[in-house]
Homo-oligomer: A and B are copies of this chain.
Amino acid sequence: MLHFDTDYMEGAHPLIMQRLMETNLEQTVGYGSDHYTQDAKILIAEACGLENPFIEKGYSGDIHFLVGGTQTNSTVIDSLLMRHEGVLCAETAHINVHESGAIESCGHKVLTLPSHEGKVDASEVKAYIQHFYADETYEHMVAPGMLYISYPTEYGTLYSKAELSELHAICQEAEIPLYIDGARLGYGLASPACDITLSDLPDLCDVFYIGGTKVGALFGECVVAKQGLLKHFFPLIKQHGALLAKGRLQGVQFSTLFTDNLYLKIARHAIDMAMMLKDGFVSKGYKLFLDSPTNQQFFVLPNEIMDRLSKTCTFEIWGTRGEKETTVRFVTSWATKKEDVRALIKSL
């Protein structure tokens, strides 16, 4: 059986496992005060192009490690919003659809915008904010308090640098932060369609996170925030149940990922595999649901083809089965084997 369900089907990259083994019996203090976490923060700050004086101080307030994506989103959003505010996002956003109401469980409304292949449109963001404050009854409504986007989106698509800049400018004018969910950040940055680098991100938004779980780590997400923006974030991480006792596990993992550019290297492999997979489907005449430049690939398959494929291969039905055709998702990862993609294409 071949598996293309998702990008968290394996453990961690072998170099990470090796480092976890090497450091396993070392004794360190807990909750991220250890030297591995410190090292990881310095490496990530450098990779993000953050300035030296900042590095020397050690970033304790502005780079944080959490365990998973949903808890990262809810902790960051809970930190950024005032109580009368909600978070703007595409209606297809992970926080709106697939987090079991985690944002609302913290008391905040998710304010949805139309999704354009997973992306929000800058002019629609702007119009939302303008209409909101033009409405005489706006103080009875939930104010747009921040903008959430994902990069890549839940549909594998990417914003261009120009689009990100425009969104950020709109947010700055409205004095609300722009937050980028980077659960699959590596797979965005490693895409040939990507026109930004990691070091552009601190200027293109106010907070973002670098996903580890889906890009080579056993688990772990790294939040990078504008200095001073996430006030009293440490107790908030604890309160959200997102503080790992053995914080050094994230330190070891992220310092490995950010040594010798490992994070991007392994992400690039996933992209290569995704492009090969897409070409395979397209060359056999199958229809793209949308043209994704990253590691998630979406096709509209006739049901009989889908049913046949599912005998030798696992993948995800996107939404619900259609009457004649169904949209499906195939996902590659840092661990996808070329022979598996070849075998899949052959079986089409």
The chain A residues found within 8 Å of chain B, CB to CB, are: 3, 5-6, 8-12, 14, 17, 20-21, 23-30, 67-72, 74-75, 78-79, 82-84, 86, 97-102, 104-110, 131, 134-137, 139-143, 213-214, 218-219, 231-232, 234-236, 238-246, 249, 314, 316-317, 319-321, 335
Q: Please name 11 further chain A to chain B contacts, defined as beta carbons within 8 Å, in addition to the given A102-B238, A107-B107, sorted by A numbering.
A: A6-B30, A9-B30, A14-B24, A83-B105, A101-B109, A104-B109, A109-B110, A135-B319, A219-B244, A219-B245, A219-B249
- Residues of B close to A71: CB separation below 8 A: 71, 240-242
- Residues of B close to A27: CB separation below 8 A: 3, 9-10, 335
Q: In the docked arrangement, what's the CA distance between A178 and B143, Å?
A: 28
Of the A-B pairs whose beta carbons lie under 8 Å apart in the complex, a sample of 16, sorted by A's number, is A8-B245, A8-B246, A11-B24, A27-B335, A84-B101, A84-B236, A86-B101, A98-B141, A101-B109, A101-B142, A104-B104, A104-B109, A136-B316, A214-B245, A218-B246, A241-B242
A142 to B, closest residue via Cβ: B101
3 smallest beta-carbon distances between A and B, as pairs: A71-B241, A11-B24, A84-B235
- Residues of B close to A84: CB separation below 8 A: 100-101, 232, 235-236, 239
- Residues of B close to A6: CB separation below 8 A: 30
A316 to B, closest residue via Cβ: B136
B107, A140: Cβ atoms under 8 Å? no
B98, A236: Cβ atoms under 8 Å? no
- Residues of B close to A219: CB separation below 8 A: 244-246, 249
Nearest CB of B to A333, in Å: 9
A18 to B, closest residue via Cβ: B21
Q: In the docked arrangement, what's the CA distance between A78 and B24, Å?
A: 34
- Residues of B close to A70: CB separation below 8 A: 238, 241, 243
Q: In the docked arrangement, what's the CA distance between A208 and B245, Å?
A: 20
- Residues of B close to A238: CB separation below 8 A: 70, 99-100, 102, 139-140
- Residues of B close to A11: CB separation below 8 A: 20, 23-26, 246, 249
Given contacts A82-B232, A234-B139, A239-B99, contact A244 B335 (CB under 8 A): no
B235, A104: Cβ atoms under 8 Å? no
The count of identical subunits is 4
Given contacts A98-B137, A134-B320, A238-B70, contact A28 B9 (CB under 8 A): yes
A142, B249: Cβ atoms under 8 Å? no
A29, B10: Cβ atoms under 8 Å? no
B9, A104: Cβ atoms under 8 Å? no
A335 to B, closest residue via Cβ: B25
A143 to B, closest residue via Cβ: B235
- Residues of B close to A69: CB separation below 8 A: 245
Nearest CB of B to A295, in Å: 15
Q: In the docked arrangement, what's the CA distance between A136 and B329, Å?
A: 13
Q: In the docked arrangement, what's the CA distance between A97 and B26, Å?
A: 29
Q: In the docked arrangement, what's the CA distance between A82 and B231, Å?
A: 9
- Residues of B close to A218: CB separation below 8 A: 20, 246, 249
Q: In the docked arrangement, what's the CA distance between A252 and B98, Å?
A: 26
